[in-house]
Amino acid sequence: MREENEALFVRAASGDLQAVAGIATQYGPDLFRLARCLLNSYEEARDAVADIIARLCADPGIIPSGLSRSWLMRVTYNHCVDLLRRRKTLQRLLPKIYDRTAVRPQPGPEQTALKTAEQVSVRQAVAGLPEQERAIVFLRYYQGLSYAEIAAVLGIPGPTVGTRLHRAREKLRKRLDHF
Amino acid sequence: MPCPSDIIWQCYLDGELPPAQYTDLESHLAQCLTCSTRVAVIREENEMLAASLAVPVPKDLAVFIERRLAGYSDRGIYWLRFFLPLLGLTSAIMALGMAWLPLLAQLRDVLSLVAGGNLLLRASLEAARLTLLLAGDAMRGSPVLPALTLLTISLLLMKLKLLKGGRVNV
């Protein structure tokens, strides 16, 4: 399985478009959804996922033995946290440049997929959570990962996941009276 | 059995409790109207969260990856991400050596007098001594040792961070 996955990345690196499409289909959706949840931007999430997969394709030697969804999720989480940190630094040090370059949240294609106003407000409330709590809520309730898997993705102890998830839910309840 | 807290019900619904607790909780749930209402609400919240976080994946993701991949080559990656910072650091050490070496050496001597038994301060001073040594080499026009040291440190850091989840590389 590992050899197959690595071969897929090697083939993609050598310009095999079918392999690139295979990677995008196999891993893209999970990574994109996590990046979208963390970055709050459709375009930035798409760029981040393209960047991650392209780097893995360009340098398949960095893929660990036993490539797992958790490892890819962790790489995505780390990459998004780095992007958010850079965004915050730019905002603090060069606010004028940040204002000019910042991506404004615009109704993307996903807005049409949200069925009710309630779902929109829940999404907004989740977006207002700190990045780690946001990731925990997303990984648990959308990706369906267990607490142990979430702990492996975020690099935190297993029992902490339950506590932070509870704290995040409390915050969401406060923000959404009806939730 | 007293009514369990919300966090217990959350773990119960997420299937994260030890199997022994489930029997107790289920029998409590069958008797307690307050808790069964609470569990129903939490379950509804879970469903709402899952529905709200659904995001359609861009159809052109593969095209974006192909474009991004076209911008990468092994040579480019190593030059930009590895040798360029290395060159910058070596230059910085050379500049440090040329301008500040005598002053820093004096400062180190003063600090070592007050360091005494403070292990952390002594370790910092040792690190400073090594930096000064490298800076001295660089100043004398022999940048090989500083460059090799930085190369080794960079490789170790990359390896360490890769083991932690690849923050450096990806």
Structural domain of residue B20, as residue ranges? 6-52
What is the tens place of the pLDDT at every residue in B56-80? 788 877 788 777 777 665 545 555 6
3 state SS of A115: coil
User: CATH assignment of A114-179?
Assistant: 1.10.10.10
One domain for residues B23 and B103 = no
In a domain, B151, yes or no: yes
In a domain, B110, yes or no: yes
Instruction: Flag if B49 and A137 touch (Cβ within 8 Å).
Output: yes
One domain for residues B145 and B76 = yes
Q: Which residues of B touch A28 (CB under 8 A)?
A: 57, 61-62, 65
The residue that leads in pLDDT, B2 or A168, is: A168
DSSP assignment of A119-176:
HHHHHHHHHTS-HHHHHHHHHHHTS---HHHHHHHHTS-HHHHHHHHHHHHHHHHHH-
pTM tops 0.80, yes or no:
no
Top CATH class of A1-107 equals mainly alpha
pLDDT band at A168 (very low <50, low <70, confident <90, very high): very high
Across A40-54, A57-71, B29-43, least confident range: A57-71
pLDDT band at A65 (very low <50, low <70, confident <90, very high): low
Closest chain A residue to B158 measured between Cα atoms?
Answer: A62
In a domain, B65, yes or no: no
Angstrom distances, CA of residue B94 to CA of A10, B85, B87, B145, B146: 40, 14, 11, 12, 9
One domain for residues B41 and B78 = no
Domains of chain A by residue range? 1-107, 114-179
One domain for residues B113 and B149 = yes
Q: Which residues of B touch A59 (CB under 8 A)?
A: 74, 77, 169
One domain for residues B122 and B157 = yes
In a domain, B28, yes or no: yes
Across A16-25, B19-28, B116-125, least confident range: B116-125
Q: Which residues of A touch B69 (CB under 8 A)?
A: 12-13, 20, 53-54, 57-58
One domain for residues B43 and B82 = no
One domain for residues B32 and B109 = no
Closest chain B residue to A52 measured between Cα atoms?
Answer: B170
pLDDT band at A113 (very low <50, low <70, confident <90, very high): low
Across A114-123, B11-20, B116-125, least confident range: B116-125
What is the tens place of the pLDDT at every residue in B139-154? 666 666 667 777 777 7
In a domain, B63, yes or no: no
In a domain, B58, yes or no: no
Return the number of other C-beta atoms located less than 10 Å from residue A21's C-beta: 17
What is the tens place of the pLDDT at every residue in A122-132? 888 888 899 89
One domain for residues B88 and B12 = no
CB-closest option in B7, B61, B165 to A74:
B165
Q: What angle do CA B139, B140, B143 make, to 5 degrees?
A: 70
Instruction: Flag if A166 and B72 touch (Cβ within 8 Å).
Output: no
Across A149-153, B35-39, B134-138, B163-167, least confident range: B163-167
In a domain, B16, yes or no: yes
Q: What is the mean pLDDT of chain A?
A: 79
In a domain, B122, yes or no: yes
What is the tens place of the pLDDT at every residue in A15-33? 677 777 777 788 888 889 8
What is the rounded distance in angstroms from the CA atom of residue A22 to the CA atom of residue A8?
8
pLDDT band at B169 (very low <50, low <70, confident <90, very high): very low
Instruction: Flag if A119 and B65 touch (Cβ within 8 Å).
Output: no
One domain for residues B129 and B158 = yes
- Rg over CA atoms, chain A: 18
B13 CB near a chain A CB, below 8 Å?
no
What is the rounded distance in angstroms from the CA atom of residue A109 to the CA atom of residue B56?
7
The number of folded domains in chain B is 2
Size of interface A-B (CB pairs under 8 A): 149
| Backbone phi, psi, residue B32, to 5° | -105, 115
pLDDT at B101: 66
Q: Which residues of B touch A56 (CB under 8 A)?
A: 170
One domain for residues B43 and B89 = no
One domain for residues B84 and B143 = yes
* Closest CA–CA distance from residue A168 to any residue of chain B (Å): 11
Closest C-alpha among B44, B41, B54, B58 to residue A123: B54
- Six token digits for residue A6: 């690595």
